Amino acid sequence: MTYTYFLKTKISDLNMPHMTDTPPDDVQADLDAFTTSLDEAIPPRIVDENLLIGTWNIREFGDLTEKWLAGDGDSPKRDLHSLRVIAEVIRRFDIIAIQEVTGALKALRHALQFLGDDWGLALTDITRGDAGDGERLAFLFDRRRIQLSGLAGELVVPAEELDDIDADALQRQFARTPYAVSFRAGNQTFILVTLHVLYGDSADERTPELRAIANWLDQWARNVNSWDHNLIALGDFNIDRIGDERYEAFTSSGLHVPADLHEVPRTIFADVDHPTAKFYDQIAWFTGEHGQPALSLEYREAGSFDFREIALPRRDLTMHALSFRISDHYPLWTEFGL
């Protein structure tokens, strides 16, 4: 089941701090430094000129401790300071796909309170079953620059078509069903397809899902009756490294990953000597070289954002601890011209 709506909540407990409050001085100083770093790392949004699309696997993005700084006995460890950091990243983009949203929506609701009424949300229901891990997929978008253009759905392969895709591609449905939503920016319309590929007990278990989504998108792009041919796939594809079997499966039908993203790290746990050894998160589209309609958006540049040293500088956290406050993945972004 898919939900497309705008989330609002009422503040019911005036005795607790909230996202929209003025932070303590030390937290505000951290946030000011953080926004300066964002200014330097990510292009500014310019009305009628560019489009900033992001994707971010935010680790277990669900519950929230309503304190500016969570204590040793608090659970979860994600607090208002951490969530303000996350929200500051989100609002750098016109639209962002988020993976690992959980059944609990407290952190998401508070983030939307901070972002304000101009921000909209498209959200799936939780994915049931052990493999789905109770996760949701979401799009957050600035309604001043982005509008829903009519299409929303989850990608399910009919049983009789499994062999048509590839005899070895998929023996069951996706662990977490890919989520497709169409949007409009200016006079450009586009469909974003986001997913979080099964991690599995071994890397080989991921290959069928990656091959299936690549072939499904290929068929959709070639269909003249499709809602629109501007297709962009983005999310956590759990690809180990460029050129490996998982990457080859993902790009087998012509999906193109921009060269700017080939060398940027995806995770805070990446080896400093091999920063792209974990190639999990991707943004990709068709270029027209394999017969599919090419993306009509003008590509400019792309990158990731390393928040490790600047997100929570006063905390002296291990990477493991940081991952539960912010995330274990970096946000990935792409800029297009309009």
pLDDT tens, residue by residue, 232-259? 999 988 887 888 888 898 888 889 999 9
Residue 246, C-beta contacts closer than 8 angstroms, at least 6 positions apart:
203, 206, 207, 210, 237, 238, 239, 240
Residue 11: predicted pLDDT: 47
Q: State the Cα–Cα distance between residues 217 and 220, nearest whole angstrom.
A: 5
Residue 130: predicted pLDDT: 52
Give the pairing type, strands 231-236 and 188-196: parallel
Residue 8: predicted pLDDT: 52
Residue 128: predicted pLDDT: 55
User: Containing domain of residue 46, as a range?
Assistant: 2-337
3-state secondary structure (DSSP) of residue 61 = strand
Residue 132: predicted pLDDT: 45
Instruction: Confirm if 284 and 233 have CB atoms less than 8 A apart.
Output: yes
Q: Which residue in the block uniquely carries the two structure tokens 């392969």? A: 157
Residue 178: predicted pLDDT: 85
Residue 5: predicted pLDDT: 47
The segments of the chain whose pLDDT lies below 50 read 5-6, 9, 11-12, 131-132, 164-171
Alpha carbons within 13 angstroms on the beta-carbon side of residue 266 total 22
Q: State the Cα–Cα distance between residues 328 and 280, nearest whole angstrom.
A: 11
Residue 277: predicted pLDDT: 66
Q: Which residue in the block uniquely carries the two structure tokens 């991952």? A: 323
Instruction: Confirm if 175 and 156 have CB atoms less than 8 A apart.
Output: no
Q: How many structural domains is the chain composed of?
A: 1
Give me the CATH number covering residue 195. 3.60.10.10
pTM (2 decimals)?
A: 0.89
Q: State the Cα–Cα distance between residues 65 and 106, nearest whole angstrom.
A: 9
Q: State the Cα–Cα distance between residues 68 and 142, nearest whole angstrom.
A: 26
